[in-house]
Amino acid sequence: MAKAQRDKGKRVERLAAKALAKLTGYPCVRGAQHKGGPDSPDVVTPPGTHTEVKGCKRLMIRSAWLRQMREEAADGDLPFLLVKPDREPFLFVCELTELPGLSERLLRSSTTELVAIEALLG
């Protein structure tokens, strides 16, 4: 991977951490990027969740990203994907059946109310 791609990935992960921290009230930070797996998420989020973050030129959701999201989550963690197309807001992707659990876990420590899914990272 070229340095410009790595730098873009870091930048997008930092933006995701900042947006999630603002939304959840949890001190989200960019994770350790040493190998991938439950102990090294892209962004450290509230307990019981696992975050995968991807930046892309235009909107696309690759099946490999969804597979990575699921495989790297620890047992019992609910995984989700944040996709950031260039010059567009983040999009939140999860399995529909996991949305209620993710909402509860992400907002557990927050006083912010979830008004609409669009506001998640807008």
Handedness of CA 61, 67, 72, 75 (dihedral sign): positive
Mapped onto helix, strand or coil, the DSSP state of residue 110 is coil
φ, ψ dihedrals at 103, nearest 5° = -60, -45
What are the tens digits of pLDDT across the range 73-108?
999 999 999 999 999 999 999 999 999 999 999 887
- Residue 22: which CATH number? 3.40.1350
Number of domain units in the chain: 1
Q: Which domain holds residue 104?
A: 3-120
What gap in Å lies between CA 84 and CA 52, rounded to an integer? Answer: 11
Q: What is the pLDDT of residue 111?
A: 46
What are the tens digits of pLDDT across the range 10-67?
999 999 999 999 988 899 999 876 556 667 789 999 999 999 999 988 888 889 989 9
The length of the chain in residues reads 122
Q: What is the pLDDT of residue 71?
A: 92
Q: What is the pLDDT of residue 75?
A: 93
Burial class from Cβ neighbours inside 10 Å (0-12, 13-18, 19+) for residue 113 reads exposed
